[in-house]
Structure 1
């Protein structure tokens, strides 16, 4: 059986779906790396909402997907940009997501870290930015989850230079009851974060970022670098104080960064591990045995899919992530909060399906094929 898929030149190509999924096994907790998957939210498809409405979340399906990730040994990075923070999921919805996911993590013994930002305000003074961060930090710590201090649009707008970042982050780190993860999200993921850490010069910004960490190494568990620049991440990784981890957020170069080199390696906190969950977990367990070649053999072929999903404009990668979750049977529909299911083209979806199917990511390839055919029919693609 074949399926007709639209290409990027306005034509149609014939593709033969894979008959069986990739065989993966569950196993013990990882021993060589700490690995988080940033997780998406499942919208309520029956809610009467508009793109400007508060997010309507299908809580049962959203939590079920987190249980899926935990079942494979992955940690969940909750309420991050993959969950559409600032792109459909407002602070009230994120707060509820944090409460529910943290409680679910406790019930199953799952690893969880949650995003702390300032998205309850659109803009404000430095004092208002600090207060917004403090409110979210308190909620995450009260939930029992680890905090991830995310980059703030409001801080980027309010800060006049590096000293303001040093002051705000220093204040928050002194308040944190447990070590946090710092997240440097590049402007390719959010254009409003251009010039973060007080400079558009990445070398200068890196120096400020590392100065924050050096001043409070006991309060920083690790950093997540999302700049899609492998060499810069390696350089930062080598300059970290002892005991501070680097969690790669590079969805273009993650296999080599996780594998590491003679001077160290990165742990992982990745949006691409949402659709790759079982395969990624299998690869890390192979790495746990010391088999770097086997790890790369499993994970390297996934990079083409990841680069496709995260192509420019990168911030819309969430659409591909949710699309693949629908094809994989993790949710019954392809609807997103904020109507973001419309953010990518049909040829983009077709290529994502082809690449994911080729990797064996769909537990039920027939279901994925059927759902892909249904989508194609809505666009008028004859089979």
Structure 2
């Protein structure tokens, strides 16, 4: 029996008893009947981190080891995305190194697969003077990914959101980039809950107009679009998009609130997955997806649904700080030796948030090594003054 003292939101302290059971690992990478990308985080190196805000040091060995962990559970990796702190601690130079190293690691592992985030984050939004500046920035990053043998996920652009005045501006930029892409690209609709600078993306007034705008872009470039990830944290809006996509274009859920029902589907259509929460709950999600592929929907639900309250806590407002909860669980589960993040982002959440995550992770059977997790949680609470 493992117990420890945990603070509560009312200022009191309770003795908490762990009850979860770790999920067993598969002997070999399993197969799913959904495409499942886990958006992976990066591991900082606190012993070399002299400028965590400006040029954070990355522990490349631990970072790549975590990708091997995900590949071993059957996931594809969504590399250098917002979960890796793109635009919030990881700059384009760091992203290039991450992409190079991950592509090389994947070549050494049979069946390992990944797609890489390409955006415009090396171009400060205030420095972008025209749509052509945005186009050149996208060209730089997608050319880098493709020249290293990778496939691109075309990330939303803060610079484009600042400059664009209409759906036609988005159509111009996306049309130009997609026409040049060597392989099919996954588009990314990231809502302003994840990044307030992306408010109004796609150029429409309201969701319906934005939906029409992005569907027009996809329809005009269908031969270059594999699918679109939608991260609006609104399952009804995702279903609207999913139901209107052209034949052969995939919908990837990025809804870290409602992913269980969206992946399961409604009997006619379902979403594939490109999720940051799969970084944190990978063993549970893998086993759930194996059950779904076997037609055992009840087992799928029993495994995946307990992770949803945990995910909603991790992704609560302000949502862009969800990376802290993801890395917190990686530390609790022994994937890294510290709880330190690029740009010091671990400070973006408070102790009560982390203790809530700990309780929910235990209830969801997400703590892989309960004794280690309890020791590390105790260390954190003592650091914050809990006797």
TM-score (norm 1): 0.97
Counterpart position of 1:121: 123
1:19, CA displacement in angstroms? 6.7
Counterpart position of 1:349: 354
Q: Is the 8 A contact 1:286 1:295 kept in 2?
A: yes
Q: How many residues align?
A: 382
1:101, CA displacement in angstroms? 0.6
3-state SS of 1:3 partner: strand
Q: Is the 8 A contact 1:319 1:341 kept in 2?
A: yes
- Looking at structure 2, the residues matched to 361 and 59 of structure 1 have their Cα atoms a distance apart, in angstroms, of 25
Name whichever of 273-282 and 7-16 sits farther off.
7-16
Map residues 255-270 of structure 1 onto 2, 5 A cutoff: 255-270=260-275
- Looking at structure 1, the residues matched to 206 and 268 of structure 2 have their Cα atoms a distance apart, in angstroms, of 26
- Looking at structure 2, the residues matched to 32 and 377 of structure 1 have their Cα atoms a distance apart, in angstroms, of 44
Map residues 1-383 of structure 1 onto 2, 5 A cutoff: 1-18=2-19, 20-27=21-28, 29-109=30-110, 110-123=112-125, 124=128, 125-382=130-387
CA distance 1:334–1:239, change in 2 (3 Å) = same
Q: Is the 8 A contact 1:257 1:266 kept in 2?
A: yes
Name whichever of 307-316 and 358-367 sits farther off.
358-367
- Looking at structure 1, the residues matched to 164 and 348 of structure 2 have their Cα atoms a distance apart, in angstroms, of 31
- Looking at structure 2, the residues matched to 97 and 200 of structure 1 have their Cα atoms a distance apart, in angstroms, of 36
Name whichever of 107-116 and 306-315 sits farther off.
107-116
- Looking at structure 2, the residues matched to 301 and 149 of structure 1 have their Cα atoms a distance apart, in angstroms, of 31
- Looking at structure 1, the residues matched to 157 and 92 of structure 2 have their Cα atoms a distance apart, in angstroms, of 13
CA distance 1:26–1:309, change in 2 (3 Å) = farther
Q: Is the 8 A contact 1:18 1:365 kept in 2?
A: no
CA distance 1:357–1:130, change in 2 (3 Å) = same
1:291, CA displacement in angstroms? 1.6
Which contiguous aligned blocks of 4+ residues in structure 1 show a shift greater than 6 angstroms? Answer: none
1:28, CA displacement in angstroms? 5.0
3-state SS of 1:46 partner: coil
3-state SS of 1:198 partner: coil
Name whichever of 27-36 and 158-167 sits farther off.
27-36
1:200, CA displacement in angstroms? 4.3
Cα RMSD, aligned residues only: 1.2
- Looking at structure 1, the residues matched to 65 and 87 of structure 2 have their Cα atoms a distance apart, in angstroms, of 23
Q: Is the 8 A contact 1:178 1:219 kept in 2?
A: yes
3-state SS of 1:145 partner: coil
Q: Is the 8 A contact 1:238 1:263 kept in 2?
A: no
Which runs of 5 or more residues in structure 1 are unaligned? none
Deviations for 1:303-341, whole angstroms, at most 9, x for unmatched residues? 000000000000000000000000000000000000101
Q: Is the 8 A contact 1:43 1:58 kept in 2?
A: yes
Q: Is the 8 A contact 1:26 1:72 kept in 2?
A: no
1:51, CA displacement in angstroms? 4.3
Name whichever of 303-312 and 41-50 sits farther off.
41-50
Deviations for 1:189-211, whole angstroms, at most 9, x for unmatched residues? 00000010013411101110110
1:150, CA displacement in angstroms? 0.5
Deviations for 1:120-175, whole angstroms, at most 9, x for unmatched residues? 11021211110010010011112222210010000001111110100000001100
CA distance 1:304–1:376, change in 2 (3 Å) = same
- Looking at structure 1, the residues matched to 28 and 37 of structure 2 have their Cα atoms a distance apart, in angstroms, of 16
CA distance 1:48–1:280, change in 2 (3 Å) = closer
TM-score (norm 2): 0.96
Q: Is the 8 A contact 1:103 1:143 kept in 2?
A: no
Q: Is the 8 A contact 2:202 2:213 kept in 1?
A: yes
